[in-house]
Structures are given as structure tokens and as C-alpha cells.
């Protein structure tokens, strides 16, 4: 992998990690376009490790909230008077909501990095989930603010987040869709998706780090890709929060649908191969 490959993949990671269009799907497509083997363990590991940049970006952007939730959660463990507050509850919601994808991701790790690394899966997932996103926008009430989130919301969003282990679904897209079906506002589900993504992305990156360092990728491309994903990721997170405050997410669904159809056509005509 060249430095230019790392820069391009870092840009793609930063742009797509928190947008509901599937970062894994876009990284798979981009890796394929760059001539990299998308089912190569070292390439898969590289795309997972550069998520550190995107993680750092969202932590930096939401540091005030994260610090407040963490402090309240830790205080509540030993001091009853801190329990029951919104900040303490949010701490638990993030912990509980993050467990499903961590467990499923570990148990299904061989399938995720193997058979699912196919352009057929990417195309199909992009298309299918776009319909769920449109349905959530049109059927969900989207009236409850972040302060009204419940444990049930966190559990449902955490369970649906597991579907993002399929390339093309989108982790943020899955959690945002589930939250809107539950009646939460767009800004609320977006912020929750950011928070639930931190433990999941950290776990995936740490788990894949040995494969990335032990493969043919190289340390320098890893560092470059991670730094680029941080810079681009921060801009992407800030933009998305402003966008969903005033606009529907259907534009992302239509983009996903179009991209999925294009990929299917390219696969059907043997213009590109699945792996």
C-alpha cells in the first residue's frame, strides 16, 4: 500500500464513518478501485485501524458531553445521589447499547473479514437498507429529544447496530434508523449513534491492529491514514450535526440506492469482480 492509497482511504474513512452511507462499504469499493485485495486480512485490518482517527474526531467534537456522562456514571457507581440523573443514565445507555455489537463482532469475526467482504454484499446492503432509512423518516414521529431517550431505545439501537457488521449497511445508518423508528429526533439519534460508535470502533481497531502491523501495509501508511481520517472525520461530524437539524436523511438513502444499483450493474456485466 502506498502513501497515496493511505491518504485516499483516510479521506474516505473520515467522510463516511459517521454519515449513514456505510464507511465499510465505501472503503471496500475504494480499495477495489485502488487495486487492493479487499479480502486480504492486512487490507481489512488497515481499514479498521484507521478508524482510530474518526474515533478521535468524534471524541474531540463531543468531549464536553462524553466527559459529563463519564463523570456522572462513575460517581453513580458509589454515590446513590448521582443515580437517576440524565447524565448518569446516558452513561449506562452507552455501555449497555454498545455490548451487542462488541459481542457479535467478536463471535462473527471470521465471517465479517471473510465471506462478507464481497461487492455483492456491499451492493445488496446499500440498496436494502436505503428502504429502511426512508421508512424511518416517513413513519417515525421524530419528536422525542435526547433528554427523553430510554433504556429500551439504547437496547434497540444497540441491537440494530449489529447489522452494520455487514458491509454496506452503515453503523450510523442502522442506529439512526432504529432511533427514528423509536420516535427520537434526528439530532438525538445522530448524537447517540456517535456515542455508541466509540466503543464499537475502538474494539474493532484494537482487535485488528496486530494484523495491520504484521501485514504488508506498513506503519507509515497506517499513521498517515489515521491522521487524515481524523481531520476529515471532524469536519464530517460537525457538518452532519448541522445538516440533520434542518434536513431529512432521505438524501443519503437515495445516494445509497443509486450507488448500490451501479455496483450491481458493474458486477453483472463483469466490469468488476466481487473480491
pTM of the model: 0.92
What integer pLDDT is reported at residue 190 of this predicted model? 97
User: What is the three-state SS of 198-247?
Assistant: HHHHHHHHHHHHHHHHHCCCCHHHHHHHHHHHHHHHHHHHHHHHHHHCCC
CA distances from 165 to 106, 108, 209, 232, 265 (A): 11, 9, 18, 23, 24
Q: How far is CA 207 from CA 75, 150, 156, 211, 248, in A?
A: 30, 30, 25, 8, 35
CB-based contacts of 23: which residues, under 8 Å, 6+ apart? 12, 13, 16, 17, 51, 54, 170, 171
At residue 91, the 3 state secondary structure works out as helix
> So what's the pLDDT on residue 232?
97
Would you state the pLDDT for residue 43?
Answer: 85
Dist. CA 203–CA 175, nearest whole Å: 18
The pLDDT, as a whole number, for residue 261 is: 97
Q: From first to last of the 275 residues of the chain, give the pLDDT tens digit.
A: 899 999 999 999 999 999 999 998 999 899 989 998 887 788 888 988 899 999 999 999 999 999 999 999 999 998 888 888 999 999 999 999 999 998 998 888 777 777 787 899 999 999 999 999 999 999 999 999 999 999 999 999 999 999 999 999 999 999 999 999 999 999 999 999 999 999 988 888 888 888 777 767 788 999 999 999 999 999 999 999 999 999 999 999 999 999 999 999 999 999 998 88
State the pLDDT at residue 130. 97
Note whether 170 and 23 are within 8 A (CB). yes
| pLDDT score for 64 | 96
Q: What is the pLDDT of residue 140?
A: 96
Contact in structure between 31 and 43 (CB atoms under 8 Å): yes
Question: Which helix or strand (DSSP H or E) is residue 51 part of?
Answer: helix 51-61
DSSP bridge partners of 184: 144
The whole-number pLDDT of residue 38 equals 82
Amino acid at each position: 500500500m502506498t502513501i497515496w492509497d493511505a491518504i485516499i482511504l483516510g479521506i474516505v474513512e473520515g467522510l463516511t464513518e459517521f454519515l449513514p452511507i456505510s464507511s465499510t462499504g465505501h472503503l471496500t469499493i475504494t480499495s477495489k478501485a485502488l487495486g487492493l485485495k479487499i479480502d486480504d486480512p492486512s487490507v481489512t485490518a488497515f481499514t479498521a485501524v484507521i478508524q482510530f482517527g474518526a474515533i478521535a474526531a468524534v471524541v474531540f467534537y463531543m468531549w464536553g458531553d462524553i466527559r459529563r456522562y463519564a463523570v456522572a456514571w462513575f460517581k453513580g457507581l458509589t454515590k446513590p445521589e448521582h443515580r437517576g440523573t440524565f447524565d448518569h443514565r446516558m452513561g449506562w445507555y452507552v455501555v449497555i447499547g454498545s455490548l451487542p455489537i462488541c459481542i457479535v463482532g467478536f463471535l462473527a469475526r471470521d465471517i465479517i473479514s471473510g465471506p462478507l467482504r464481497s461487492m455483492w454484499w456491499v451492493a445488496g446492503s446499500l440498496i436494502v437498507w436505503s428502504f429502511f432509512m426512508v421508512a424511518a423518516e416517513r413513519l417515525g414521529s421524530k419528536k422525542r429529544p435526547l433528554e427523553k431517550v430510554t433504556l429500551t431505545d439504547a437496547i434497540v439501537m444497540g441491537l440494530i447496530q449489529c447489522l452494520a457488521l455487514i458491509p454496506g449497511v452503515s453503523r450510523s445508518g442502522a442506529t439512526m434508523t432504529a432511533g427514528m423508528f423509536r420516535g427520537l429526533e434526528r439530532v438525538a439519534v445522530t448524537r447517540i449513534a456517535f456515542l455508541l460508535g466509540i466503543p464499537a470502533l475502538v474494539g474493532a481497531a484494537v482487535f485488528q491492529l496486530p494484523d495491520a502491523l504484521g501485514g504488508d501495509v506498513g506503519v507509515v501508511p497506517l499513521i498517515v491514514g489515521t491522521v487524515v481520517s481524523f481531520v476529515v472525520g471532524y469536519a464530517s461530524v460537525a457538518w452532519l450535526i448541522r445538516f440533520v437539524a434542518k434536513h431529512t436523511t432521505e438524501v443519503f438513502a437515495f445516494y445509497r440506492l443509486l450507488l448500490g444499483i451501479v455496483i450491481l450493474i458493474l458486477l453483472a456485466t463483469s466490469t468488476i469482480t466481487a473480491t
